[in-house]
Structure 1
Amino acid sequence: MESLGVVVNPIAGMGGRVGLKGTDGKLEEARRRGAEPRAPERAAEALSAFARRAGDGVTVYTASEPMGEAAVRAAGYDPELVYDPDGEETTAADTRAAVRAFLERGVDLVLFVGGDGTAVDVAAVLEADGGETPMLGVPAGVKIYSSVFGVTPADAGRIAADFDRTEHREVNDIDEDAYRAGEVRAELRAVVPVPVAQELQSSKQLSSGGVETLAAGFARDVDPETTYVFGPGSTVGAIEAELGIDGSPLGVDVWRDGELLLRDGSEAEILEAIAEPTAIVVSPIGGQGFVFGRGNHQISPTVIGRATEVEIVASGEKLDGVGALRVDTDDEELNEELRGWTQVRTGRFTTRLIKVL
């Protein structure tokens, strides 16, 4: 590794905790709801891990703030600034322009910080240039369906420093407006070279399995004194349907003893609605295994800390497809607490032990 191009989408992921399921076209609304940037911190985490492995013998190209300069300098590098965004608000055009500047300087890898939308922008420029330069994502967006991201920011940094070969992987994106309405419309947007490593996440699988008995078993065991925070997804949705809840398919709901207290809530609304005892009910993302940190940022470290129980539910088929579970909560101390062996409810009476990595 002789040279690295780093570009940060500074608004990536801002819509997550405030319940917007994405930031495309919703930046002002996210800010109105109190959203805070998360991409710069995750960029710094990735570049710190990169620097520990790669040392100082690497030329790092980046854009001026807020698109990468501060994170690169914080990692100990004196970057070459090759692009200056015009104005305080950055756009997809700024991302593409920065990547073009990297390619003009012959970088060995483009490391980007964002979500699927950012991945689409980076891939478009790389493909237009011939598609030979590899790319690697630092996960910061709300929705991450592509397989071009490290599992965590630190994983992405380590992969960038150590890789010696690449393989072609998918860049997928979804329609955010349809997503907010509860429908997933995924589209393959590009196939690009990505560094090979075990710490890369898979594309999300959109298939569904039979969860009727699981839902029936969960409903049978519901405690009327417990407040339930139901995460997004079809498996948890089946439980809500069994309980007669008109829930949000891709949002977070709060329910207690037959009453829907909150539908499609933000982090702040969830915290206001819950009371002890509280159980968080989540299901891993198919093909990836994430239970926290992908598509459910509203269930923040603060929300998790207020819960008395976390219950993970999944069909046996889904667990077979993921192998292990993963967490990426933005709080490494909490991640460590969540890691280890855990019970997952798989049916009416059945559970399975599976490891959280």
Structure 2
Amino acid sequence: MHEFRLGLVINPYAGIGGSVALKGSDGPVTRQEALARGAKLRAPERVKTALQPLLLFKDRIRFATAAGNMGADVLRALGFAYDVVYTPKNTQTEAEDTQAAVRALCAEHLDLLVFAGGDGTARDVVRALGEQQLPAVGIPAGVKIHSAVYAVSPAAAGKVLRALLQGELTTLRSADVMDLDEEAYRRGAVRAKRFGELQVPGELEYMQAVKIGGRESDELVLADIAADVIERMDDDALYIMGSGSTVAFIMDELGLPNTLLGVDVISRGAVIAQDVTGSQLEALVAEARAVGQRVYLVVTLIGGQGHIFGRGNQQLTPEVIRMVGREHIDVVATKRKLQALEGRPLRVDTGDATLDDELAGFIAVITGYHDRTMVAVEDAEGSD
């Protein structure tokens, strides 16, 4: 059974200025004033509320977090397994501690990042993540919550997290990170600015399985999926196109010949190898990497079974998959196809148990144009 790897970062001073009429918590001076006025740290307790529903899955979760009240204290109190990957230098943490903690977490191969704070904390998370597209869930704990990356309450965040761990289909969306100028806010002026975006589960108010509407006709949805993949294609990259009808539709949209039950390779808008073997593919990928060419893999799942590796595409050897890297694998499928799994996870059975475990976790499946759905992936052991 796969162990989910979650990251947790708490801004313990988030919201500390609210109860004592300071209209925010940004900056060390404000925090010192809030403490002097008798304010209490409320963020850790809000995180406990959000994480309570996850206790049912405690044996399947291991957290990576920061020391003390930035995460470890809460996880220890609740009984979760965790590893401390960052320790702040000072007791009173600042924005740079949040950023440093998130950067440390990025090296931990997380399935999901959980953070607690306000708009300033969300800004720090965006800044630290940079170009990394790590799905995140925000637990609201600040005075100002204008960013769309937070759940409406800690309890709602808990429902989101529980649904993800239960394998419910969850659409990913890009959500804006906004923040106010606190000095202007204290003077009565509201000045909001966009600072970036995070990938978050859709419908943070509550969680439900992704609905299949009337528009979920195969041809329309496949066209949307193809449009998304094609729009992001890099002319200078190498693309491995896996077998199956969904990938075949993408090839048709590109105007290229396709091996329905085989694997083809394209580069610069042309097919450079058809129906390749595993050894041929390993050589092509190694050659591309040797000259600095990026390599991407587009695969779909077997309907009814959910396998994305190890069934009908053994040409995608463990060596090929490792050279491509998890972050360059695009899984494409309609939501109807995912719903047909009835909550079962996607499966990987590459023949390499270590690789299977590395591939397990959450993956964002391309289910439409600019539409992603979070789905759990389990290794071969999980299929028992």
TM-score by length of 2: 0.50
Displacement of 1:83 in angstroms is 0.7
Tell me how far 1:100 sits from its aligned partner: 1.0
Amino acid at match of 1:181: R
> What is aligned with 1:24?
26
- Aligned residue number for residue 111 of structure 1: 114
1:189 is aligned to 195
1:112-160 superposed Cα distances (whole Å, 9 cap, x missing partner) = 110000000001122x2x2310111111000000111111112112212
Other structure's SS at 1:48 match: helix
Structure 2 residue matching 1:70: 3-state secondary structure: helix
* Corresponding residue of 1:316: none
SS in 2 for 1:44: helix
Q: Secondary structure at the match of 1:66?
A: helix
Query: Distance in 2 between the 1:139 and 1:121 partners?
Result: 15
1:7 aligns with 2:9: yes
Give me the whole-angstrom Cα distance separating, in 2, the residues matched to 1:35 and 1:79. Answer: 29
Cα distance in structure 1, aligned partners of 2:62 and 2:195: 30
Match of 2:185 in 1: 179
Deviations along 1:312-350, whole A, 9 cap, x unmatched?
xxxxxxxxxxxxxxxxxxxxxxxxxxxxxxxxxxxxxxx
Distance 2:204 2:70 in 1: 28
**Distance across 1 between alignment mates of 2:17 and 2:204:** 29
Alignment gaps of 5+ in structure 2: 165-169, 208-384
Q: Which has the larger radius of gyration?
A: 2
The alpha-carbon distance between structure 1 residues 68 and 136, as it changes in their structure 2 partners (threshold 3 A), is: same
Corresponding position of 2:149: 148
Cα offset, 1:29, TM superposition: 1.1
Cα distance change, pair 55–66 in 1 and its aligned pair in 2 (3 A) = closer
Check whether the contact 1:131–1:192 (CA below 8 A) recurs between aligned residues.
Answer: no
Q: Tell me if structure 2 keeps the 8 A contact 1:9–1:113.
A: yes
Match of 1:60 among 59, 63, 86: 63
CA shift in 2, pair 1:200/1:30, >3 Å: farther
Query: Aligned residue for 1:263?
Result: none
Q: Secondary structure at the match of 2:9?
A: strand
Structure 1 pair 24/64, CA: closer, same or farther in 2 (3 Å)? same
Contact kept, 8 Å, 1:46 with 1:138, in 2: the verdict is yes
Secondary structure (helix, strand or coil) at the match of 1:154 reads helix
Task: Output the aligned Cα RMSD.
Answer: 1.7
CA contact (8 A) 1:9 1:95 kept: yes
The amino acid of 1:43's aligned partner reads: V
In structure 2, what is the Cα distance between the partners aligned to 1:50 and 1:153? 13
- 3-state SS, counterpart of residue 155 of structure 2: helix
Q: 1:100 aligns with which of 98, 103, 109?
A: 103
- Distance in 2, matches of 1:138 and 1:3, equals 18
Matches within 5 A, 1:1-357: 2-25=4-27, 26-52=30-56, 54-126=57-129, 128=130, 130-163=131-164, 164-199=170-205
Whether the 8 Å contact between 1:147 and 1:200 is mirrored in structure 2 is: no
Percentage of identical aligned residues: 44
1:51 Cα deviation from its structure 2 partner: 2.5
Structure 2 residue identity aligned to 1:137: G
- Distance in 2, Cα, partners of 1:181 & 1:5: 37
Deviation, 1:198, is 4.5
For these two proteins, the number of residue pairs brought into alignment is: 198
Letter in 2 for 1:67: M
SS in 2 for 1:16: coil
Cα deviation code 1:68-116 (max 9, x no counterpart): 1111122221211111111211111111111111110111111111000
Identify, as 1 or 2, the structure richer in helix: 2
Kept after mapping to 1: 8 A contact 2:152/2:204: no
Residue 32 of structure 1, CA deviation:
1.5
Contact 2:181–2:192, Cα closer than 8 Å, also in 1: yes
